[in-house]
Amino acid sequence: MMDIQDRVSILNEFSALPRSNVSYQILIMFAWLDRGLDDETVTTHTLQPENKDYYELNSLIKIMTEKQVMNAFKATRTMYLEGFLDKIVIDHLGNVSTADESKSKKFANIYYRLSDKSKTLFDLD
């Protein structure tokens, strides 16, 4: 179990990210999705056998304001690179990859979920 100082350290790390305002909004939306607060607007993929839900970035962005969308892709990528999000890529054939491979956006869907690091901020671990 993490103590408050560990959580504050992670929060400080998150707050130092570029585009932290939109990043925090995205993080909160992922936390809501993890809690089941979705009306099926956001496309979900459950990765088996781990039974972990991942959420499609493009469908999440559709419910954001235009100002948020401008920074959402870069913010999400940064959060992934810094360990705040886990990512999978599903190609047009349905193949799932957890590696950070370069795939054409035309032929693949990108899904994210809160990483264990992020879940500690919301006490979701």
How many domains, the chain?
1
- Which structural domain, as residue segments, surrounds residue 72? 4-121
* C-beta of residue 20 within 8 angstroms of C-beta of residue 14: yes
Instruction: At 120, list the tokens.
Output: 């500690």
What share of the chain in percent tops pLDDT 70?
92
The pLDDT of 47-54, averaged and rounded, is 90
How does pLDDT run across 62-117, given as a tens digit for each residue?
A: 888 887 888 899 999 999 999 999 999 998 888 888 766 555 556 788 999 999 99
CA 87 to chain CA centroid, Å, is: 7
Residues 6+ apart with CB under 8 A from 100: 80, 87
pTM: 0.87
